[in-house]
Amino acid sequence: IVAFLVTAFMILTGRKGGQHVNPGIKKDQPKVVDSFTMKDIEDLMKKDKNGVVAICRCWRSKNFPLCDGSHTAFNKTCGDNVGPAVLKK
Ligand code: FES
């Protein structure tokens, strides 16, 4: 049943076995985990002209884990609709 569900998910989402979401960020690590304290977030909000923190969810940012707008070009190339998670006060 699990194999069937995995296969169905891959077919429905257009994924093939072996494809990765992460194209090249911190590939030397077994798992990419980024942590922020509330102070980190407050400091980042102070630096931003709009007072927000945008967290990358497309894995294409040159400033990962922060969004640098690379999702726009990525979406144009593949027809996806990904964007950042935006933290606001
Ligand atoms: Fe990845 Fe914006 S660059 S979500």
Give the ligand 1 atom nearest the CA of 84.
4
Q: What's the pLDDT at 38?
A: 97
Residue 10 identity:
M
Q: How far is the CA of 2 from the centre of ligand 1 (A)?
A: 32
Query: ipTM of the predicted structure?
Result: 0.99
| Residue for token pair 């960020």 | 25
- The residues annotated with a catalytic role in the active site are 31
Q: What is d(CA 43, CA 45) in angstroms, rounded to the nearest whole number?
A: 5
86 forms bridges with which residues in the sheet? 54
Q: How far is the CA of 14 from the centre of ligand 1 (A)?
A: 21
Q: Give the CATH number of domain 23-87; options: 3.30.310.50, 3.40.190.150, 3.40.5.90, 3.20.20.70.
A: 3.40.5.90
Listed by start position, the domains of the chain span 23-87
At 28-74, the pLDDT tens digits run 999 999 999 999 999 999 999 999 999 999 999 999 999 999 999 99
